[in-house]
Amino acid sequence: DAKTTQPPSMDCAEGRAANLPCNHSTISGNEYVYWYRQIHSQGPQYIIHGLKNNETNEMASLIITEDRKSSTLILPHATLRDTAVYYCIACMDSNYQLIWGAGTKLIIKP
Amino acid sequence: GAVVSQHPSRVICKSGTSVKIECRSLDFQATTMFWYRQFPKQSLMLMATSNEGSKATYEQGVEKDKFLINHASLTLSTLTVTSAHPEDSSFYICSATEGRSYNEQFFGPGTRLTVL
């Protein structure tokens, strides 16, 4: 699986859009980009995933660059409950083994 | 939908005892279940992968005789920490997948194990 690089921490004001970057410069053509988050002392929660095209669901949007070497997770209107560690993972669709990096600790401030 | 439960949520035990943690998929059949361990301020580390009815596949460095995994049905997997020691104190998390075409794993709430 491709290695991903994320900033260790970020702050965002409540109500603003939170943009979390992820670099995956060695991603291969059949690897997807997955985003999970983990609120303190809870199990991780799936957010979104994509291959090439931008994706949007009720939780977030995922913007993947054309060369697929980086992506951005967007939480459009961040709330205090979005404070969590966000993990960007690149892996093949058929490989269920997720390799977890350090993630980005996102703190939403009132 | 897609809820995974774990029991117990917290357990404190004496050194040398064994502890069993249950992981259940409540509203779907889990073809594959995963067990992770997470130490404070660290990321999740995959311990093992299990498929219903077959032996678990353990990650390198994880002792299979110490961490016994049983995946007896499509909705239940158990992790038994045998002869627990203080260094086994950790947050244990299970996840399950329905085996659909994409890798969306559903995670349990985790079990906090403290070995005295």
From the CB of residue A3, how many other CB atoms can be counted at a distance below 10 Å? 12
In this prediction, residue A92 carries a pLDDT of: 76
CB A61 within 8 A of CB A19: no
Predicted confidence (pLDDT) per residue in B61-110, tens digit: 999 999 999 988 889 999 999 999 999 999 999 999 887 655 678 999 99
Residue among B46, B84, B77, B78 at smallest CA distance from B62: B46
Cβ of B101 and A93 within 8 Å?
A: yes
Cβ of residue B97 closer than 8 Å to a chain A Cβ: yes
Closest to B93 (Cβ–Cβ): which among A43, A95, A99?
A43
Q: What mean pLDDT is predicted for residues B13-34?
A: 93
Phi, psi of A25 (to 5 degrees): -70, -20
In this prediction, residue B72 carries a pLDDT of: 82
Cβ of residue A87 closer than 8 Å to a chain B Cβ: yes
Predicted confidence (pLDDT) per residue in B27-60, tens digit: 888 888 999 999 998 999 999 998 888 889 999 9
CB B33 within 8 A of CB B53: no
In this prediction, residue A93 carries a pLDDT of: 67
Predicted confidence (pLDDT) per residue in A51-74, tens digit: 999 999 999 999 999 999 999 999
